[in-house]
Amino acid sequence: MKTHDDMPVEVFSGMLWEAELIRAMLENAEIYAFLTDKIFGGVLPPIYSATDTGQVKVKVSSRELERAKAIVKEFEENRQD
């Protein structure tokens, strides 16, 4: 049974390729991560998305939230637009 401290929480929302990259970075740090809205965010334009944003979300266990946030922050600081 899941406890309150073991619930999935969102740590990132963005394009499919970004979400896949973040997921790989998290898993490389031994943090289990999974994607939601992958089908809609990766295929359909935002107007047809179930979330109305077309964003793919990366989720982790709430127990790993602080470690995951640090990795996402590093990704965002180092990316070049």
Model pTM score: 0.76
pLDDT of residue 6: 83
The domain ranges of the chain are: 4-78
Task: Give the separation between CA 46 and CA 66, rounded to whole angstroms.
Answer: 29
The residue-averaged pLDDT of 16-21 equals: 92
* Per-residue pLDDT tens over the stretch 22-72: 999 999 999 999 999 876 544 555 554 444 456 899 999 999 999 999 999
Q: Is the pLDDT of residue 10 over 80?
A: yes
Task: Give the separation between CA 55 and CA 37, rounded to whole angstroms.
Answer: 7
pLDDT of residue 50: 47
pLDDT of residue 77: 92
CATH domain 4-78 topology: Alpha-Beta Plaits (3.30.70)
For tokens 């979300």, the residue is: 57
pLDDT of residue 41: 45
